[in-house]
Structure formats: C-alpha cells, structure tokens
C-alpha cells in the first residue's frame, strides 16, 4: 500500500527565513498531493495542493514542487511569520480503491520572532 515519509519532524527557523519540508511517497499511482496546516487544538486545514501533471504551484508565500520520477514533493514557505508556527502534514491520494489518502507523520514548525 501507499506509504508517505515526511522530514524533518521538527523545524525551527527565525522569523523572515524560509522553511522547507520534504515528503516521499511509495506508490507511483498517487496523483494528488495536498498539504495541511494544523494549529494547536484545531482541525487540519488545506494550505496548498498539487496534481501529478504539474511540477510546481505557488500561492503567495507558499509553494509546492513535485518530482514524479523521484516520487517526492516539497513545501516551501518564504518570509516566515510567527503565525506560521503549526504542524504541517503532507498527503498522497491514490485514484484506485476509492481515493485512499495517506498522510505523512507531520512536521512541527516553530517560527521564532
């Protein structure tokens, strides 16, 4: 079955610096890769997503890149702010078997003011 690995598990950056989180997936049939942000005590919320026919997508300070050949995708946050502090999850969705969605283990991002 699909397996998603996410690194690092914890990331601490200074306000204004960039943060990069990396994920790899195992099943080449996965074709949809969303990223979620979860603040303390709240539900995960989608921040950006990318489909397998696209290599890069950007939304203001957030960007995601996808390398299908290597089966990895990354989240890039530029000009980080304290409110970016949260747990970030990557996920991969398989189109077969009902669009099973598997999550990475999460990255806890701390942005120091």
Partner 1 sequence: EADIYQTPRYLVIGTGKKITLECSQTMGHDKMYWYQQDPGMELHLIHYSYGVNSTEKGDLSSESTVSRIRTEHFPLTLESARPSHTSQYLCASAQGGGSPLHFGNGTRLTVT
Which positions touch partner 1 (CB under 8 A)? Answer: 1, 31-32, 34, 36, 38, 40-41, 43-46, 49, 51, 87, 89, 91, 93, 95, 97-106, 108
DSSP-derived secondary structure letter, 55? S
**In the bound complex, what is the minimum distance in angstroms from residue 21's beta carbon to partner 1?**
14
State which residue, 16 or 105, has the beta carbon closest to partner 1.
105
Omega prior to 8 cis, within 30 of 0: yes
- Cβ-based nearer residue to partner 1, 4 or 77: 4
Give the residue with the Cβ less far from partner 1, 80 or 93: 93
Measured distance CA(88)–CA(73) in Å, rounded: 14
Residue 46: CB minimum distance to partner 1, A? 4
Neighbours of 4 (CB within 10 A): 22
Of the candidates 21, 13, 22, 16, the residue with the CA atom closest to the CA atom of residue 71: 22
């Amino acid at each position: 079955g699909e397996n998603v690995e996410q690194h690092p598990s914890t990331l601490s950056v200074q306000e204004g610096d960039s943060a990069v989180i990396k994920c790899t997936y195992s099943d080449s049939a996965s074709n949809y890769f969303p990223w979620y942000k979860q603040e303390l005590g709240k539900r995960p919320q989608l921040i950006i997503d990318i489909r397998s026919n696209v290599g890069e997508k950007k939304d203001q300070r957030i960007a995601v890149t996808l390398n299908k050949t290597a089966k990895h995708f990354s989240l890039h946050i530029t000009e980080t702010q304290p409110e970016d502090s949260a747990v970030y999850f990557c996920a991969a969705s398989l189109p077969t078997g009902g669009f099973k969605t598997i999550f990475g283990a999460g990255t806890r991002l701390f942005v120091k003011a």
